[in-house]
Structures are given as structure tokens and as C-alpha cells.
A = this chain, B = another copy of it.
């Protein structure tokens, strides 16, 4: 049997956001590998082995998946959201590059999914409707000064911004520092949306002005969207709509 490795995105939480490509890979898999809460989204069946692992063991997990694929298994590594956005695809390729050359013949595919920031943006309206950036606020894997530099330059470029991992258990002060930098760089009326558990039954969206944002508005299940200077809010009876127009006037 010829083995394969698919690195697949399960989307932000709702089963109705999983693409047919990803569903087919899961249906044909012999082994599913991933972080515990993502593997638990897979329906068990005969012939399918589920391999759960804890957070922060991404390279071990990647090596395990590569070894099984090389031995002839049809392996799917599952990520939340899109596997190419702050998720498992880069970890698998780091392990592939560091490992022995024979692994490079493995049939590897990345299957995209709906990443959290785009599901959050859709739930809010269209705050990322113009040029934007995505920044992982966790400083586990990069120095804080680089995060700070990127935040300041992103504000100067007037990008809308999406923040992943805004608030970790181990470093809760990071998001407070982020808000301080944004307040130095942006006007106090800048719109900021906190999108908690998007597309799940726990989904909750809150949009406030930057001056009114507080660190506790973000937790580990929140994606934060910061508008550009052009981002607008449409008030109405239900939830407001937050969007960034397509055009910027010539000054």
C-alpha cells in the first residue's frame, strides 16, 4: 500500500464549514493525528486509528505522522482552521526538512480550511474587506520585540489586523501590551472586534472602540480583529455590521 500524508483544516468549529476535500481525506484515512480537541471532532469508525497528542508537541506529532505515512498508512494531520495559518503545516515541513532524505518521497498534501479570522470577519460583517495582516501574538516562538515592531508597522501601513492567540495562560500580560501599542499608534475611535468561539454554540462577538477595549475581552478562544482607519460600523436592531470599504480616497 502506498502511504500518504494530508494536513487538513477542520475550520473554526462548525462541521458545516468543513470542505468536501477535507471530509474525503478523513473518510479515506487509516490514521488521524492531532491536538486532542481537534482529533475529538473526528467520528470514530472501524479501520481508523485516532492519535491524540497534547499541545506544544508539534514536532513529535509531525514526525509520528511522517513515519506512519512512510510505512504505508494514509495519515491525516488535523488542524483547527486552516493548516497553513499558525497551525500544523509548517511544523510538518520543519520535521520533513530536518529528517532523513528518504521521507521527501512521501505523498504530502495540504488541504485548506476556513481559518478563524475569516470566519470571525464573516460573523462581524467584512472588517478584513481591504488590505490586512495576520499576527500571532504568542511569544512562545518569537521574541516580543518582533511582535511589537510588527504591530507598529502594521498600524503605520493602516492595515486592518487579525490577532491569533491574543492571550495565553502563561503570558496574560501580552495582550495588555498590545492594546497599549495600538492606543499609541491609532485613534481612540478605531474599531476592535473580539470574536469568541466563532461558528460554535458558544460564539460571542463584541465590537468596541479601541479606547474602551480591555485585556479581559480576549481569552484563548478569541480572535481579535482591529479595523483600519477606514473601518465603519452600521448600527441596526440586531448585531451591528462592521466593515472596511473597498476603496480609499485619493488624498
Contact = CB atoms under 8 A, between A and B. Distances in A.
B93 A142 contact: no
Given A16-B24, A84-B122, A134 B133 contact: yes
A108 B241 contact: yes
Interface string A60-104: 000000000000000000000011111101110110110000001
B143 A244 contact: no
A246 interface: yes
A190 B15 CA distance: 38
Contact of A232 (B20, B97, B251): B97
Interface residues of A, number: 76
Copies of this protein in the complex: 2
Nearest to A133: B133
A129 interface: yes
A136 B245 CA distance: 13
A89 B127 CA distance: 10
A1 interface: no
Nearest to A142: B248
Contact of A128 (B85, B97, B130): B85
Nearest to A243: B93
Interface stretch (A37-45, A145-153, A208-216): A145-153
18 contacts: A14-B21, A19-B19, A82-B122, A84-B118, A84-B129, A85-B118, A90-B245, A110-B126, A114-B114, A115-B118, A128-B134, A131-B150, A132-B133, A133-B159, A141-B248, A142-B247, A146-B248, A153-B157
